Amino acid sequence: MSTVTADPHSDAHADHGHSGGFLSTYVFSLDHKVIGLQFLFSTLIWFFVGGMLALGIRWQLAFPWRPMPILGDLLGAAEGGQIAPENYTMLVTMHATVMIFFVIIPVLAGAFGNFLIPLMIGADDMAVPVLNMLSYWFMWPAFALIGASFFVEGGAAQGGWTSYPPLSVIAEAAPGSLNGQNLWLLGVTFVGIASMMGSINYMTTIIQMRAPGMTMFRLPMTIWAMFITAILQAFALPVLTAAGFMQVSDRLLGTGFFLAEGAMANNSAMASGGGQPLLWQHLFWFYSHPAVYIMILPAMGMVSDILSCFSRKPLFGYKPMVYSISGIAGLGFIVWGHHMFVSGMNPMLGMTFMVSTMMIALPSAIKTFNWLGTLWGGHIQYTTPMLFAISFISMFIIGGLSGIFMAATPVDIFIHDTYFIVAHFHYVLFAGTAMAVFGAIYFWYPKMFGRMMNDSWGKVHFVLTFLLMNLVFYPMHILGMQGFPRRLADPYHYETFRNLLPMNQFISYAAFILVGLQIIFVINFFGSMFFGPRSGRNPWRSNGLEWQAPSPPGHGNFDFQPIIYRGPYEYGSPEVEEDFYPQNQPPPEAK
Amino acid sequence: MNRYWSVLFLLVPIGGVATFIVAPYFNMGLPRDVSEHGHVIDSLFMFILYLSGAVFVVTQLVLFYFSWKYEQGSNDQPVKYSHGSHVLEIVWTIIPAITMLFIAIYQMEAWATAKMQPPDIRPLVEVTGRQFNWDFRYPGPDGELYTADDFVRTDGKLYLPVDEEVLLKITSADVLHSFFLPNLRLKQDIVPGMDQSIWFKATEKGGYDIVCAELCGWGHYKMKGRVFFLSADEYEAKLEEMRLDENTMRVVQDDTLDTDE
Ligand SMILES: [Cu+2]
Ligand SMILES: [Cu+2]
């Protein structure tokens, strides 16, 4: 099949994809662009599902126990559409599971990683196209298992997306721990296998398949971010997979890795035990903290590229940016304990993890300052992708700063597991990553489909999303400041939280509108495929190598031999008359 | 005028600061603190809030200013063809590094007091979290916990003396729970099978919420308790009253952490 080679002429792939009919072109395709789009479409559908689950949560918090119109029945609530308490815990568990494992991780690495890596480094495809195809198709068992889990006896998993034992292990402890949890664990394992195949492929491709002249320090930030992400995946995932199997074994074979001796719940039989519930938390967060970066680094990379392009000036501090994300890759493995400050873990460890966590804030600070530096003295063009990219900086500042509160151990005693943390990670993952992904879709859409998305409707989508998202997530800081706990179906019978009902109703109304208005994006996305104006190769006058290929690129990507002369951020270079200077354009004297 | 897009980003620092200023007028914010150590956590919270608030406002204003000033149609200067600045990189690495390290070291004392230095006193009550209730085991007339005359209350009401350092044993009968007293700035996850305790000193009489803050199953939301702080006399009287109450459960086995009667 494919050969691992730095030779961009390699036409080893020349005949697959063309030969077959519909099935081999669009379904079991080996072409990285098709696979990328398959990931994109799948994740957009799951994004919708995850959004619906969020609406269920917001309904219950705004109108506790009142029957939910329309959606109530769909979300498997009790009769009449009222959300039953066990359904509420299912909703919070599955909202997070779907958004993290089926949306954010696969949309960044799967969709954009696949689509962009070969195009940006000047390769004709991934190093191992078959592995690439499999990495997409291994998502389907996960989709099927977790999709089916909603319909098994007891319903989908209810132990939180963190699946802390004993709740997740003892079948009697929660209805969702009966069958749903098995499917959850298997599903997540399949996601892990898919990610692992992807990350091996990305690392190999980025190391081996770069076009002549494309040195590591001429790679766009997007590629650097994908590279670091792939490394994080490859080293962290085996731990989650192993822990997942241990939990399966605890559940089905009666081993007791995560249960104390004699553990029981809800009149279950006593477990032989001999293990430790905290062991799971250590293993889980050893994966899931690096996963936090898996969920943000590629977004940062894409934002860097968009910012430089529409500031018409070089990215400020390219190398410090590269070093700082490399630093994240190292530090990311020694901070997991900050999720466990009040877990019962030795408090001495809390101090160590506090220091390492404070230090990991540094790379984020460096990146933020460099993005501001990129805007400084530029010629900013307010296109839709640029608006999303600037909003990413603004929102990431909020998400980054609110992280300091949780990193400070004494403060975390109070705000741990409150809405403060909910606000924090939604600022990072929704206001941050999801907004960056919207920006990236508007930006690379012309390359994907050869047509432009509508810019005016794009801006309408941006303004409304930006405003409403802040109305949804910002007040959650205040909720958290009052100690309002997450994952609570009815917090209002606590005296301390009773007065927060109006605020929650406000948030919920904003959330309903926020979800509803995404129809603007959906129409624009699908409509532009047919009615958008043709974009040509390089509609944004961008330097990136991907923009010099045809739109959309044919099989094998480039209709010329890419040879790279410079980095991707030479905007406004004095060497040329134009304000951009593509990576593959020969220097003037060579003409 | 295209540059007006930047005004959208100006709304962020304005709205962001305004929210925190307005919230107290609607009675939202840190709940009333009735503990001796709580003000330490509150002041650390406020310290980080002011510090990060300042960084927030400055960076957001810079972001707004740049996106206002350097809009393509409004900036008649040529693009600054700059790839970065070593001096700036060093400055904005070192300043945050020192600040973050300072915050970390500044917090350690409070953390150590809160979680690492239990007072040398006898445990007063054993708290057991179970799906979905809080049980409390009190010592009998001998004043010692874990003896045969202990008794257990299952009504979710915990009575403790005010103005007195107390040490509680916390255990779980089934899954993880978290013992959260918002008004005492106290939270500790309870792990079944682990020997855990918490300590604090309440400074005001009255009743306050006990919240379960770790997902423990479908009834997690209703796992509510109340803690009442009483004067020494009232506390003694209450203990006696509870001991004689017919709803009170006796402890049969002693020398065990198990509260099951
Ligand atoms: Cu983390
Ligand atoms: Cu609970």
3-state secondary structure string across chain B = CHHHHHHHHHHHHHHHHHHHHHHHHHCCCCCCCCECCHHHHHHHHHHHHHHHHHHHHHHHHHHHHHHHHCECCCCCCCCCCCCCCHHHHHHHHHHHHHHHHHHHHHHHHHHHHHHCCCCCCCCCEEEEEECCEEEEEECCCCCCCCCCCCEEECCCEEEEECCCEEEEEEEECCCCEEEEEHHHCEEEEECCCCCEEEEEEECCCEEEEEEECCCCCCCHHHCEEEEEEECHHHHHHHHHHHHHCCCCEECCCCCCCCCCC
Choose the closest CB to A482 out of B28, B176, B214.
Answer: B28
Is B176 in Cβ contact with A380 (below 8 Å)?
A: no
CA B212 to chain centre: 12
Whether chain B has a CB inside 8 Å of the CB on A344: the answer is yes
pLDDT higher than 90, residue A148: yes
pLDDT band at A290 (very low <50, low <70, confident <90, very high): very high
Contact A130, A1 (CB under 8 A): yes
Residue A69, pLDDT above cutoff 90:
no
Of the pLDDT bands very low, low, confident and very high (cuts 50, 70, 90), residue B240 is very high
Q: Do B59 and A495 touch (CB under 8 A)?
A: no
pLDDT at residue number B7: 95
Domain ranges of chain A: 31-590
Tell me the pLDDT tens digit for each residue of B74-96. Answer: 888 899 999 999 999 999 999 99
Tell me what percent of the residues of chain B surpass a pLDDT of 90: 78
Q: Tens of pLDDT along A90-142?
A: 999 999 999 999 999 999 999 999 999 999 999 999 999 999 999 999 999 99
Residues of B in contact with A581 (CB under 8 A): none
> Predicted confidence band at A456 (pLDDT cuts at 50, 70, 90)?
very high
pLDDT, residue B142, reads 87
For position A6, what pLDDT does the model report? 41
Ligand with smallest separation from the Cα of B210:
2
SS3 A53: helix
What is the average pLDDT value for chain A, to the nearest integer? Answer: 92
Residue A419 and residue A476 in contact, taking contact as beta carbons nearer than 8 Å: yes
Does A368 contact B59 at a Cβ distance shorter than 8 Å? Answer: yes
Q: Class assignment of domain A31-590?
A: mainly alpha
d(CA A485, ligand 1 centre) in Å: 19
Name which of A309, A342, A415 to mutate to probe chain B: the one with the most chain B Cβ atoms within 10 A of its Cβ.
Answer: A342
Q: Is the ipTM of this complex over 0.90?
A: yes
Instruction: Using CB atoms, pick whichever of A320, A368, A379 lies closest to residue B89.
Output: A320
The alpha-carbon gap from B142 to the nearest alpha carbon of chain A, in Å, equals 30
B93 CB neighbours in chain A (<8 A) are 320, 362, 365-366
Task: Give one DSSP letter per residue of A107-138, joined into a string.
Answer: IIIIIIIHHHHHHHHT-SS-S-HHHHHHHHHT
Distance A2 CA to ligand 2 centre (A): 53
- pLDDT score recorded for residue B252: 60
pLDDT tens-digit profile of B9-32?
A: 999 999 999 999 999 999 999 999
Interface check for A378 against chain B (CB to CB < 8 A): the answer is: yes
Alpha carbon distance B48, B96 (integer Å): 13
Q: How far apart are CA A139 and CA A40, in angstroms?
A: 12
CB A397 within 8 A of CB B60: yes
Write the pLDDT tens digit of every residue in A523-553.
999 999 999 999 999 999 999 999 999 999 9
Query: pLDDT per residue over B173-187, tens digit each?
Result: 999 999 999 999 999
Q: Write the pLDDT tens digit of every residue in B113-165.
A: 888 889 999 999 999 999 999 999 999 888 899 988 899 999 999 999 999 99
pLDDT of A2-46, one tens digit each? Answer: 334 444 444 444 444 445 677 777 778 899 999 999 999 999 999
In this prediction, what percent of chain A has a pLDDT beyond 90? 83
A317's CB contacts (< 8 A; 6+ apart) are: A366, A369, A370, A373, B83, B84, B85, B88, B89
User: pLDDT value at position A11?
Assistant: 43
Average pLDDT over residues A167-172: 93
In A, residues 434-493, which contact B (CB 8 Å cutoff)? 463, 466-467, 470, 474-475, 477-479, 481-483, 485, 487-491, 493
- In B, minimum Cα distance to A163 occurs at B215
pLDDT tens digits, residue range A383-401? 999 999 999 999 999 999 9
Q: What is the mean pLDDT of residues A220-238?
A: 95
SS3 A324: helix
CB atoms within 10 A of CB B157: 16
Q: Which ligand is nearest to the CA of A289?
A: 1
Picking from B6, B56, B92 by the largest number of A CB atoms within 10 A of its own CB, the best residue to mutate is B92
The predicted model gives B193-201 an average pLDDT of: 94
Q: Say if residue B27 is exposed, middle or buried (CB neighbours under 10 Å; 0-12, 13-18, 19+).
A: exposed
Does residue A274 surpass a pLDDT of 50?
Answer: yes
8 Å CB contact of A382 and B48: no
Specify the DSSP element, H or E, that contains A508: helix A501-516
Write out chain A residues lying below 8 Å of B59, CB-based. 368, 372, 397
Instruction: Provide the pLDDT confidence category of residue B253 given band limits of 50, 70 and 90.
Output: low
Please report the domains of chain B, with CATH numbers, ordered by start residue.
Answer: 2-72+83-115 (no CATH), 120-260 (2.60.40.420)
Ligand nearest to the CA of A489: 2
User: What is residue A330's predicted lDDT score, i.e. its pLDDT?
Assistant: 87
The per-residue pLDDT for A20 is: 60
